[in-house]
């Protein structure tokens, strides 16, 4: 399950524990961070944390 969010693709990686990477769709660059699910964390909660990281990454750009 992948999701597009604010110009970024959030990609679930195979394997355990669940983890996600975030890719800037415009440049194809992967953000230098990864979200890893906590034990028993549902996909939607992990996805929400990835969206929060995108928001944090974009925050300085939105100030200008």
Render pLDDT for 19-58 as a digit per residue (tens, 0 to 9).
999 999 999 999 998 999 998 999 999 999 999 999 999 9
Q: Which domain holds residue 16?
A: 2-62
Look at residue 23 in the predicted model and tell me its pLDDT.
97
Look at residue 1 in the predicted model and tell me its pLDDT.
75
- Planar angle of CA 22, 24, 58, nearest 5 degrees: 90
Q: Looking at the 3D structure of the chain, how many domains does it have? A: 1
Helix (H), strand (E) at residue 58: helix 43-62
């Amino acid at each position: 399950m992948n999701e597009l969010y604010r110009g970024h693709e959030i990609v679930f990686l195979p394997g355990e524990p669940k983890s996600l990477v975030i890719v800037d769709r415009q440049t194809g660059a992967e953000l230098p961070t990864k979200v890893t699910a906590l034990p028993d964390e549902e996909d939607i909660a992990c996805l929400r944390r990835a969206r929060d990281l995108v928001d944090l990454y974009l925050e300085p750009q939105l100030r200008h």
